[in-house]
Amino acid sequence: MEITRHNVREQALRRFKHLRTCVLARELCFLVRNNRATFKREDVRDCCGYVAKLCNEAGCTEPSDLCVKAAEAVMDNEMEYLNICGQSCAKCGQSRMLESEKARYIA
């Protein structure tokens, strides 16, 4: 009984961390990409920087590094920003989602 409780607790904590970092980062990223025409470059830079911190906290260093690069690139070159941002989305930790969550996730 205690082992089952422990396993359920561990699963719930992993899910909480995933929602608090990966899911939030992905939703914020989509929000920025969908509204980039209305945002100032500084807004995009700041938002991408925050998303990078969330990715880093989740242990996704490569997407985090790409978000940092995108945040820097948006100030000078929008095409480069979009390219880097797309790379980060492709490497997003969302693909590492728990199997039980994949069936319920709707893109």
The pLDDT of residue 92 is 80
The pLDDT of residue 95 is 53
Band the pLDDT of 103: cuts 50, 70, 90: very low
Tokens linked to 99: 């199997």
8 Å CB contact between 22 and 67: no
8 Å CB contact between 31 and 72: no
Taking the C-alpha atoms of residue 3 and residue 87, their distance in angstroms, rounded to an integer, is 40
8 Å CB contact between 47 and 32: yes
8 Å CB contact between 80 and 51: no
Taking the C-alpha atoms of residue 47 and residue 27, their distance in angstroms, rounded to an integer, is 11
Least confident of 22-36, 40-54, 92-106: 92-106
- Rounded mean pLDDT of 14-26? 93
Q: Which residue has the tokens 């728990």?
A: 98
